[in-house]
Structure 1
Amino acid sequence: MFPSGSLVTLAIAGLIILLIFKGVRIVPQSEKYVVERFGRLRSVLGPGINFIVPLIDIVAHKISILERQLPNAMQDAITSDNVLVKVETSVFYRIIEPEKTVYRIRDVDAAIATTVAGIVRAEIGKMELDEVQSNRDQLISTIKLAVEDAVDNWGIEVTRAEVLDVNLDEETRRAMLQQLNAERARRAAVTEAEGAKRSVELAADAELYSAEQIAKARRIQADAEAYATSVVAEAISANGIEAAQYQVALKQVEALVALGEGQGKQTVVVPANALDAFGDAFKLWNKGKGA
């Protein structure tokens, strides 16, 4: 048997060990501990080694601070243009102030789900169906901000709020499909009409360009003829009637030469005064040269 003094020593040692065990709390990185003293909130222990008063302070709640995902939920909502839609949502959150979460809300997951459902219905009720389909990013941002404001008193941070899908009933889906087909047909008709219009415009531009070029050629030809006429007029003015006779004689000679240069066997009809034309041209040339 142990002496009574040894028993007391062992008892004291055991009590000290128990007190140390009760007074030291090692909190994991992913958790926070809520400490109560006589049923009231005393403190919140963060990750690492923490000390509490043994037998007086107790760890009442161990709260995970990891990010959590609520189960995907379906909510019925009616748009401002009276279309019934089924919206599938998903929410991610984490607890940042455990003392608020523990003492202000009993079932945090159910509370967040109910809040999200109400906000989704309210926000979609402000929008038309086309806006819900086309402005989903804006809808998600609005829902996330509204949920954050609603759960702020619960010590929760909403990290993500997603609208996964917006489903329509079969009747509305058929109506939208008909509308989509009609819109496609309208766009095809408009495109075809614009193509025909463009083709007519291009054809008109081509005809206008052709007419402009013909007119330009005629104008150049007219300018050339006017210039030639003015040259002849100046020659007549300077040399008298003989210059005009010289020009006529040259034209006759050029015509006879062109007729004689034809290919193959042919009969050349020479006017009676052809030799006179050669002679007149030669005389006028010599006279002009002598002058």
Structure 2
Amino acid sequence: MEELIVDFLSNNIVYILLFVFLIVVILAGVRIVPQSEKFVVERFGRLRAVLGPGINFIVPFLDRVAHKISVLERQLPTNRQDAITSDNVLVQVESSVFYRITEPEKTVYRIRDVDAAISTTVAGMIRSEIGALELDEVQTNRAALISRIQQALEKVVDDWGIEVTRAEILDVNLDEATRAAMLQQLNAERARRAQVMEAEGSKRAVELNADAELYEAEQTAKARRVQADAEAYATSVVAQAIKENGVEAAQYQVALKQVEALTTVGQGEGKQTILLPSAALDAFSDAFGLLKGRS
């Protein structure tokens, strides 16, 4: 049995070696690229192709995969750099950048250390942008500042085959002296606002009081006008009666008023004695006579 196997191998050694060679060639020419990567292929040291996800074929022994580049989004470590605002305030800015490689051939052959290059570029841009703003503008317009930095960064890294997906300014820190000065300024501003609010409240109270007094005066004037109109109307009625009935109507009204006055005096509280002069009794007699005559 062993002799048969030896005879078979000796007679077919060429075919066996050829078969093994074909297997090696096939394996060397097939490249399976994961979804999250791209392969940069070189031939004799020069760029040959960029392989995308899936099954790819290369020329064995001539082509080789020189670089395996991840296309996943990356985050640079938090970077801290000092900057001076236009009003000469020293601040320490913490920033971070997210990016991903879209063209591996540019990243491989145009830049050596991508992370260091982006960090240096971002630091310079942050210093430039903050140097054109005052401290208050840096604090209040952070979104606009981030947007300008990201746009400027995209123009620079485009030659490196990189897409900047997001840039963030995480914090803007101040030294202790500046922070204490800002706190003092903030307290002063709060005190000023409180005084303004108190003054506005006093002013509003005075305005409301004046409005109330004006309203009271208007209502009093209206009441007096109504009363005057009533008295004028009563006078006109009496004048008309005198015109129509002569002196008797006038005497009747006078007598009626005298009776009403005496009746009011008699309705006073407590026990009291009322002394009437003879003229008053004559007035009663005249009033009753007139009343009787009119009835």
TM over 0.5, shorter chain: yes
- The DSSP-based 3-state class of the residue aligned with 1:131 is helix
Residue identity in the other structure for 1:133:
Q
**Distance between the aligned counterparts of 1:59 and 1:5, measured in 2?**
38
Which residue, out of 271, 277, 290, partners 2:283?
Answer: 277
Question: Equivalent residues in 2 for 1:38-57 (5 A)?
Answer: 38-57=44-63
Question: 1:217 and 2:223 equivalent?
Answer: yes
Residue identity in the other structure for 1:82:
N
Percent identity of the aligned residues?
73
Question: 1:197 and 2:203 equivalent?
Answer: yes
Stretches of structure 1 that go unaligned for 5 or more consecutive residues are: none
**Distance between the aligned counterparts of 1:268 and 1:164, measured in 2?**
99
Question: 1:163 and 2:169 equivalent?
Answer: yes
Q: Extract structure 1 runs of 4+ deviating beyond 6 A.
A: none
**Distance between the aligned counterparts of 1:74 and 1:254, measured in 2?**
101
**Distance between the aligned counterparts of 2:172 and 2:123, measured in 1?**
14
C-alpha deviations, 1:118-149, integer Å up to 9, x for none?
11111111111100000001111111111111
| Deviation of 1:234 (Å) | 1.2
**Distance between the aligned counterparts of 2:174 and 2:268, measured in 1?**
89
**Distance between the aligned counterparts of 1:123 and 1:264, measured in 2?**
96
| Deviation of 1:193 (Å) | 1.1
| Deviation of 1:169 (Å) | 1.2
* Stretch of structure 1 that moved more, 159-168 or 227-236: 227-236
Report the TM-score, using the length of structure 2 for normalisation.
Answer: 0.93
Question: 1:66 and 2:79 equivalent?
Answer: no
Q: Tell me the matched-pair count.
A: 289
**Distance between the aligned counterparts of 2:259 and 2:188, measured in 1?**
79
Report the TM-score, using the length of structure 1 for normalisation.
Answer: 0.95
C-alpha deviations, 1:196-249, integer Å up to 9, x for none?
111122222222222222222222212211211111111111111111100011
The residue number in structure 2 matching 1:173 is 179
| Deviation of 1:252 (Å) | 1.2
**Distance between the aligned counterparts of 2:80 and 2:91, measured in 1?**
10
The residue number in structure 2 matching 1:226 is 232
| Deviation of 1:82 (Å) | 1.2
Residue identity in the other structure for 1:60:
A
Which residue, out of 17, 23, 44, partners 1:11?
Answer: 17
| Deviation of 1:260 (Å) | 2.9
- The DSSP-based 3-state class of the residue aligned with 1:249 is helix
Question: 1:82 and 2:97 equivalent?
Answer: no
Stretches of structure 2 that go unaligned for 5 or more consecutive residues are: 1-5
**Distance between the aligned counterparts of 1:208 and 1:252, measured in 2?**
39
The residue number in structure 2 matching 1:27 is 33
| Deviation of 1:286 (Å) | 4.4
In the superposition, relative to structure 1, how do residues 178 and 263 fare at CA in structure 2: closer, same or farther (>3 Å)? closer
